[in-house]
Amino acid sequence: MERKQATYRYVTSGGGTSENKFSYDPGKKKKQKKIKGIARILAAAAVIAVVLLFAVFHVFDQNGRTGIGRVTKIAATITQNITPFGDQILFYDGTTIHCVSPSGANVWSYQIGTNADYDVGENKIVAWSGNELYIISSNGRLVYNNKMSDSIQFASAGKGYVAAFIGSASKGVVTVINGEGRVVDNITVDSQTLLDIGFFEASATTSTQTTEYMWMLGLDTSGTVISTQLQTFQPGRLSTGKTSLGDYIAYKIFDINGILNIVTTREILHYTYRAVESSESTLIYGYTLRDVRRNGNTVYQLLIPSNELSGGMTVSNVRLMYGNVNRVIHLPGKCISALLGTRCIYSFSQDTVYACRFDDTSFTAYPLDIPVTNVLGMISDNRAVVASGSAIYIVELPL
């Protein structure tokens, strides 16, 4: 292409004019404009990519999984006493306790005999069959095994101790065994029907360190009026307190930072490790406690209206309590049941999971690939243990 010239005239200091000539290439100018346009497009694309990348990371940081993950069938049925255990699942097939992973793989098995039952603690399992007691570690290793003096009614596993009620329903002995398999207490039970035993940690008034204590709940039948009795113990040092709860019928006990929360059909009572009432009760009349989840120092409590626990698709709202929060959240549709995850409330219908963050007030729906007929519990990493007919599945839930 022919090069063209342009003339540029300017006034000199003497009043005359002068001129400069230079050449330019119109094709080159067009190319420069084109390059500049492409550069602008690439810069804009880079900005958009960064924004999108930030948005993706923000979504995953805030919401984690955005839908239903893996659904895994395990080799258990609804009748086999299925219990969540940390990030694994236990079930009893009539002779043997099996521990399976979320992938369905068998982790370990231990034979305990027929007509057996078991309870789980944070890091151990206590099982019993007739008068034989077993303590099994979380990796399936036998820690303790012995034939007791009489039939075992039930047992409970704590963090460092195990307690077993031996004898008849209204008269017997609670034997407390430490982590080394040594008996540290034999507590006589008389003139009452023992209902339950459990363990909790609390700090004594003179110490900042926590100590493991044991509670016992029973019905006192020695008087003319039946009343519920609460007793507390420090294993190896016997009683730390005893009190009457009157005619309250308690169905669950859990602790919040060393304070026992005794759940009745009307309210939640609060007691110290010395069996002394620590604060006013929390009214829950009309609701039943469904689940408790501890995250750090916060304990979340999920309740369901008592008249919605009759089975089937009956649950239409839930109540969440933690700290100073006490609110009712309505479900988008009727559900079978609800549970607590690490960040969310999960409610299950037959074909949908509804998820609601603890600090939110509405549910998001996620479709299920299997028809859910029962909800059995949660294991870690927000996986639910559900039944579909007699089959058992592990469902990875959105965070």
Instruction: Output the pLDDT for position 170.
Output: 78
Q: What is the rounded distance in angstroms from the CA atom of residue 381 to the CA atom of residue 399?
A: 9
Residues of the chain predicted below pLDDT 70: 1-65, 205-207
E strands along 284-358, which residues? 287-295, 298-305, 315-322, 325-335, 337-340, 344-348, 352-357
Q: Could you give the CA distance from residue 63 to residue 14 in angstroms, rounded to a whole number?
A: 77
Of the candidates 291, 230, 299, the one whose C-alpha atom is nearest the C-alpha of residue 258 is 299
pLDDT at 385: 97
pLDDT in the model for residue 39 = 57
pLDDT 10s digits, 4-13: 444 444 444 4
Side chain identity, residue 295: N
Q: Is 219 exposed, middle or buried (0-12, 13-18, 19+ CB in 10 A)?
A: middle
d(CA 319, CA 87): 26
**Residue 221: per-residue pLDDT:** 77
Local structure of 227: helix, strand or coil? strand
Neighbours of 344 (CB within 10 A): 23
pLDDT value at position 364?
A: 96
pTM: 0.80
For residue 45, the Cα-to-chain-centroid distance in whole angstroms is 43
At residue 301, the pLDDT reads 98
Backbone dihedral angles phi then psi of residue 47, each to the nearest 5 degrees: -60, -45
Tokens coding 131:
């008068």
Each residue of 198-252: pLDDT tens digit? Answer: 999 998 766 678 899 999 999 987 777 888 999 999 999 889 999 999 888 899 9
Domain ranges (residues) in the chain: 4-59, 70-80+286-399
**Mapping DSSP to helix (H, G, I), strand (E, B) and coil, where does residue 3 land?**
coil
For residue 9, the model assigns a pLDDT of 46
pLDDT given for residue 44 in this prediction: 57
For residue 4, what pLDDT is reported?
A: 46
pLDDT at 35: 57
